[in-house]
Amino acid sequence: MRARCVLLFFFPQLATASQDAQAYVLDHLFQLIGTTNKEYVEFGYNTNLLCGGSGANTCRLHQQGWRGLLLDGGHQNTSINLHREMISSANIVHLFRKYGVSTDVDYVSMDMDSCDLWVLESLLSSKYSPRVITAEFNTNIPWPHAITFPDKAKFDVHYKTDRVHYGLNGEDKPAYHGCYVGASAGAFDIVARDHGYEIVAVVFPLDLVLVRLDVMQGVRSSVENSTELYPYLFRNPQNQRKLRRTVQLNTWGNRAMTIEQARELVDYRVWRETILTGSATMSEAVSAGREAALKQVAGFANGKINCFAKLRGRLKQGVRAL
């Protein structure tokens, strides 16, 4: 089976409000930092149309004269430069090269709800350095926990995903849901720092806005003092408090995570530190990362977050069954 890394994850109820907010944040941010090539790449694009589905950012930017590349695992429309490609950490750099993306593309939007963190890590380890990146994150996992979906391209995983179906433009599309999606803000923060980025804004409940450090230089005070951006700034204490809680995305009732799913999550911080020792094998690092993640996830089972709620019981049962 091909790596199902391109995911079509769409929150119908939340989409409009948060996309309006994201559009607002991007508009004000680009006013302050300026644009260079007005080029975008968006992946995880859930429609054949330029201005349909949840691709609202790209639609708006396109109307403002921007141009760029759209990638998705399920949709294609070459007239809008939308190409059907399965995206993984192993091929993202190749895809950017194949479609002639500029190394300093102004804006990259990621929305796959699966191996996003690993794809970002691969991309930023290459010559590509987008000026602004928005990445959907898993708000169920509180800051600073660095928990992520596993990377099928890097190590052996057996996705035990729940699938739900949502209707969009009459289509019936599967999507992951619950807590077994994407990566936490804490995990994105590590990748951002490793590669010369910072999380500048957060648009609850979906997106983090990362900006390259050299782009921030010289405009930092205008960004940080912007009254328009302040409600969304990562450094805003209100957002910091919110990030420390788990914010439940209740779109599909967040069915409780299974023990198999919990066992496949990875603590990115532990995985990375283990790899960086230079003496551990990939599978040792993955084991260390998984063990650390499982302990934390079990601790989130406070009864309030549906998708973690039954986990503690399930873990106990799992241990008894061994």
Ligand X SMILES: *[C@@H]1O[C@H](CO)[C@@H](O)[C@H](O)[C@H]1NC(C)=O
| Closer residue to ligand X (CB): 13 or 225 | 225
Instruction: Tell whether residue 102 is a contact of ligand X (CB under 6 A).
Output: no
| Closer residue to ligand X (CB): 3 or 229 | 229
Distance CA 19, CA 58 (A): 11
| Closest approach of ligand X to the CB of residue 50, in Å | 4
Instruction: Tell whether residue 250 is a contact of ligand X (CB under 6 A).
Output: no
Residue 112 vs residues 179, 181, 240, 288, 317: alpha-carbon distances, Å: 14, 9, 24, 25, 32
| Closest approach of ligand X to the CB of residue 44, in Å | 18
| Closest approach of ligand X to the CB of residue 238, in Å | 17
Question: Looking at 48, 89, 148, 254, which residue binds ligand X (CB under 6 A)?
Answer: 48
| Closest approach of ligand X to the CB of residue 78, in Å | 8
Question: Looking at 224, 260, 273, 284, which residue binds ligand X (CB under 6 A)?
Answer: 224
User: Is the bond preceding 144 in cis, omega lying within 30 degrees of 0?
Assistant: yes
Residue 129, H or E segment:
none
Closest CA to 284 of 276, 297, 260: 276
Instruction: Tell whether residue 134 is a contact of ligand X (CB under 6 A).
Output: no
Binding letters toward ligand X, positions 61-90, x by CB under 6 A: ----------------x-xx----------
**Half-sphere exposure of residue 107, counting CA atoms within 13 Å on the CB side?**
27
Sign of CA dihedral 66, 126, 146, 219: negative
Q: Is 54 within 8 Å of 44 (Cβ atoms)?
A: no
Which of 1-9, 45-53, 271-279, 288-296 is the region at the interface with ligand X (rule: CB under 6 A)? Answer: 45-53
Instruction: Tell whether residue 287 is a contact of ligand X (CB under 6 A).
Output: no
| Closest approach of ligand X to the CB of residue 221, in Å | 4
| Closer residue to ligand X (CB): 85 or 116 | 85
State the maximum Cα–Cα separation within the chain, in Å, rounded to a whole number.
60
Question: Looking at 36, 125, 225, 281, which residue binds ligand X (CB under 6 A)?
Answer: 225
| Closer residue to ligand X (CB): 28 or 220 | 220
Residue 311, H or E segment:
helix 311-321
Question: Looking at 50, 192, 265, 315, which residue binds ligand X (CB under 6 A)?
Answer: 50
Instruction: Tell whether residue 171 is a contact of ligand X (CB under 6 A).
Output: no
Q: Mapping DSSP to helix (H, G, I), strand (E, B) and coil, where does residue 220 land?
A: helix
User: Is the bond preceding 205 in cis, omega lying within 30 degrees of 0?
Assistant: yes
Q: Is 184 within 8 Å of 148 (Cβ atoms)?
A: yes
In total, the chain counts a number of residues equal to: 322
Which of 16-24, 25-33, 43-51, 115-123 is the region at the interface with ligand X (rule: CB under 6 A)? Answer: 43-51
Question: Looking at 217, 218, 221, 278, which residue binds ligand X (CB under 6 A)?
Answer: 221
| Closer residue to ligand X (CB): 47 or 114 | 47
| Closest approach of ligand X to the CB of residue 157, in Å | 33
**Cβ contacts of 97 within 8 Å, gap of 6 or more:** none
Q: Mapping DSSP to helix (H, G, I), strand (E, B) and coil, where does residue 76 land?
A: coil
Residue 322 vs residues 53, 315, 317, 319: alpha-carbon distances, Å: 45, 11, 9, 5
Instruction: Tell whether residue 220 is a contact of ligand X (CB under 6 A).
Output: yes
Q: Mapping DSSP to helix (H, G, I), strand (E, B) and coil, where does residue 197 land?
A: strand
Instruction: Tell whether residue 296 is a contact of ligand X (CB under 6 A).
Output: no
Query: Where do contacts with ligand X occur on this chain (CB under 6 A)?
Result: 48-50, 77, 79-80, 220-221, 224-225
